């Protein structure tokens, strides 16, 4: 299944059957920066759903999406946001699933604002965080989490690491 073919449907918040990774981003403007994430998940063969929802502009949509994530079969969530990047933390408040935060680069502070918003989470509401703009690493890390209980993901990661070692 080519996840990106469903892009327009997913922007409206539709769910993908069989998805195990959820990607949520605060704005459509984050899509180009998150392309490395979606491409890497596709390369690994990991089905995902993608939704645009803002912790500040559409909090009800974030709440509904996050609260139902585990029931839909998601295992890991990747949350990308910039500036006051509270999206990952808000999602973490509504789901027991692991959250991988992707701080987006910003014009004001180069993404440091996003990074600090994600890594300074209160006790009990953890968000793992990759580098500023680290969309591809978020996909790799999410797949590594899945690999702890999914042999297909474990083989995808092992193969990926072999190719990196040979390069």
- Known binding-site residues for substrate equal 27, 30, 57
* Nearest Cα residue to 103 out of 51, 155, 166, 34: 34
Dihedrals phi, psi of 64, to nearest 5 degrees: -60, -45
**DSSP structural state of residue 120:** -
* Residue 159: other Cβ atoms inside 10 A: 11
> Which SS3 state, helix, strand or coil, does residue 92 take?
helix
- The CB-side HSE value for 44 (13 A sphere, CA atoms) comes to 34
Residues shown for the chain: 167
Binding-site residues sit at 27, 30, 57
């Amino acid at each position: 299944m080519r996840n990106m073919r469903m892009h327009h449907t997913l922007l409206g918040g539709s769910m993908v059957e069989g998805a195990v990774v959820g990607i949520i981003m605060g704005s459509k403007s984050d899509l180009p920066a998150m392309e490395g994430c979606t491409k890497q998940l596709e390369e690994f063969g990991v089905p995902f759903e993608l939704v645009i929802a803002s912790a500040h502009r559409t909090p009800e949509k974030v709440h509904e999406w996050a609260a139902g994530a585990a029931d839909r079969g998601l295992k890991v969530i990747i949350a990308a946001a910039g500036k006051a990047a509270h999206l990952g933390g808000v999602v973490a408040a509504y789901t027991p699933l692991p959250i991988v935060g992707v701080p987006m680069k910003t014009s004001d502070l180069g993404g440091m604002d996003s990074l600090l918003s994600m890594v300074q989470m209160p006790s009990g509401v953890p968000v793992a965080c990759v580098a500023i703009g680290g969309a591809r690493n978020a996909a790799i890390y999410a797949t590594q989490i899945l690999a702890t209980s999914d042999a297909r993901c474990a083989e995808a990661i092992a193969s990926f690491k072999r190719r990196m070692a040979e390069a």
